[in-house]
Structure 1
Amino acid sequence: MGFGFGFDFDERTTAVTDGSESDSLLRKVRVILSAFDNGSPVLGLSELARRTGLAKTTVHRVATDMAGIGLLNRQGRRYELGSLLFELGQRVPRTRALRLVAARHLEDLALTTRETVVLGFPGDQDVLFAEKYYSQRGGGVAVSQVEGRVPFHCGASGKALLAFGDPALAARVVSAPLSRRTRWTITEPERLRAELEQVRRQGYAVDRQELVAGFGAVSAPVLVADVAVATLTVTGPVERLDVARLAPVVTAAGRALTRDFKEVRG
């Protein structure tokens, strides 16, 4: 069963300096939205202020206005992301069209591999997981733990997007601090650059417990004008993740989705 979204306000690494004349209302809205993550779906004023760098009075004023138009839901003095974001996400033309075309490929890949399959999109800072089909053999816990968005450098989907995507994005990610998710996460810039070069040569990316301990993944890009706009990723427990078997299947599915999406786009 799949689910979808496609609206990204991701700028969690940039705090707003409260009181600066150059800080626009839209920028405050953006950093407030970006303060939410999967581990903290509901946040109070104090935590929002800490994460954004805004004063509590500013957070309260802006968040109240955002709740009034559906960008946030308000629960007393606590907030969560509003349903309007989901509704707007469904209207993004390329994302919506690709999700529709990808549905069959995701299902076929899940049936062929008997593992969990995920469709990912590039955000500003992270990979956005838009659709997933869970394995009938179990192991969907890995995707559940990273549901929504994850850093580019931590998993197979992100590495595929960096290797085949906008070079400026790859340069920005590699030059930024690389956070550690597990003891296998690549956190050295030179090692990540070498990994991305290998991904380009072989046509697919592999995650060996870099995102979630005990789980791995194989990912292939979906291309538009030779630039990755999405990824198809198969993920499961490392003890049954046979890269030699999965890589040809995943890359073939990526090429097929690339072809079908190109036909739809005309």
Structure 2
Amino acid sequence: MSDGSTTINAVETSFQIIDVLADHGPLRVTELAEETGVPKGTVHKHLATLRGVGYVVKEEKVYRLSLQYLRVGKRIQKRSKLFRLAKPIVDELAKTTRATTNLMIVEEERGVYLYRNDGMSVESDPLPAVGGRVPLHATAGGKAILSQSLELTEKLIEDHGLQQFTEKTIIDKQELRNELRSIRDQGVAFERGEHDPAVQCVGAPIVVDDEPVGAVSISGNIDRMIGKKLEEDLTGLVVSTVSEIEIALLRQ
């Protein structure tokens, strides 16, 4: 919500409603009021406004988000140079590994999935959707990025702290710093059930002119992402993929 600066409550309420519809919709006005804690009359006014600009659709007595959000999201995605250059390379990695492959960037000290290719994965891994924010300190891609920036690491710790998501999440500041140094030396980061207990992941940072611009990771169910496959096979493929992306970025 607010970071302490001047905000407009009505705008925050609209986005609160949008978030609930994204996670739980379609919903009735009463259900939205219960989920948001906003009075029914206020919810109805916001829905009427959002319908008027084409971002909410009413069907019978329920409301859902319109496909306008797809248009907006695709436009933002396509404006990213990293997305345009990395997408075909990430797609090739997904094809080779037959596993879920992710491209992550940072926004407001949070990891954001800019792109994902599910490869030939037959199971749906419990990963946030493209555009969803995830904690940097509890994900392979996030730790890979943090390993390349002491400034970002300290800002994350100061502004957000180290939230615990599972019993394996690193919540000790010095322990995190030690792991990030190891990741920087090795060039790869592992996520072993730290954000979701069912997911393991390996990632590597994309670095241009000594600055991390993103990360590539391969993720999967903890039962599949184990042993030599995780520690050696996928690790080498992630590192070579990142090198290819870095070369493409430097040529632009």
Tell me whether the two structures share a fold, i.e. TM-score over 0.5.
yes
* Distance of 1:191 and 1:84 partners within structure 2: 43
The secondary structure found in structure 2 opposite 1:146 is coil
Could you tell me which amino acid in structure 2 is paired with residue 68 of structure 1? Answer: G
The answer to whether the 8 A contact 2:167-2:194 is kept is: yes
Closer, same or farther: CA 181–41 of 1 in aligned 2, 3 Å: farther
CA offset at residue 245 of structure 1? 3.2
Q: What is the rounded CA distance, in whole Å, between the counterparts of 2:185 and 2:177 in structure 1?
A: 13
Q: Which residue of the other structure, out of 232, 247, 250, is the alignment partner of 1:259?
A: 247
Q: Is 1:220–1:254's contact at 8 Å kept on the other side of the alignment?
A: yes
- TM-score, length-normalised on structure 2? 0.75
5 Å-filtered alignment, 1:177-216, equals 177-216=161-200
What RMSD, in angstroms, separates the aligned Cα atoms of the two structures?
Answer: 3.6
How far apart in 1 are the matches of 2:209 and 2:26? 39
User: Residues 259 and 16 of structure 1: is their aligned pair in 2 closer, same or farther, counting only changes over 3 Å?
Assistant: closer
What do the CA deviations read for 1:13-69 (whole angstroms, capped 9, x no partner)?
x2699xxx952544444444445665x354555665566665443333223212322
User: 1:239 maps to what in 2?
Assistant: 226
Cα distance, 1:216–1:254 mapped onto 2, change above 3 Å: same
Alignment of 1:250 with 2:238, yes or no, is yes
Where 2:197 maps in the other structure, the secondary structure is: coil
Tell me whether 190-199 or 245-254 shows the greater mean CA deviation: 190-199
Q: Does structure 1 residue 121 correspond to structure 2 residue 105?
A: yes
Tell me which residue corresponds to 1:83: 67
Pick one of 129, 141, 146 that aligns with 2:124: 141
Mapped partners of 1:48, 1:225: distance in 2: 47
Structure 2: how far apart are the matches of 1:259 and 1:103? 14
Which residue number corresponds to residue 8 of structure 1? none
Name the CA distance, whole Å, in 2 between partners of 1:25 and 1:249.
47
Identity across matched positions, percent: 23
**2:91 matched to which residue of 1?**
107
Mapped pair 1:171 → 2:155 = yes
- Take 2:207 and 2:69, find their aligned partners in 1: how far apart are those partners? 26
Higher-Rg member (1/2): 2
SS of structure 1 residue aligned to 2:146? helix
In the alignment, is the contact (CA less than 8 A) between 1:101 and 1:261 conserved in 2? yes
Q: What corresponds to 1:70 in structure 2?
A: 54
Assess, with a 3 A threshold, how the Cα gap between structure 1 residues 135 and 168 changes in structure 2: closer, same or farther. closer
Give the conservation status (yes or no) of the 8 Å contact 1:16–1:31: no
Report the TM-score, using the length of structure 1 for normalisation: 0.72
Give unpaired runs (5+ residues) of structure 2.
none
C-alpha change, 1:83 and 1:112, in structure 2 (3 Å) is: same
Distance 1:125 1:50 in 2: 31
| Structure 1: stretches of 5+ with no match in the other structure | 1-13
Name the amino acid aligned to 1:115: A
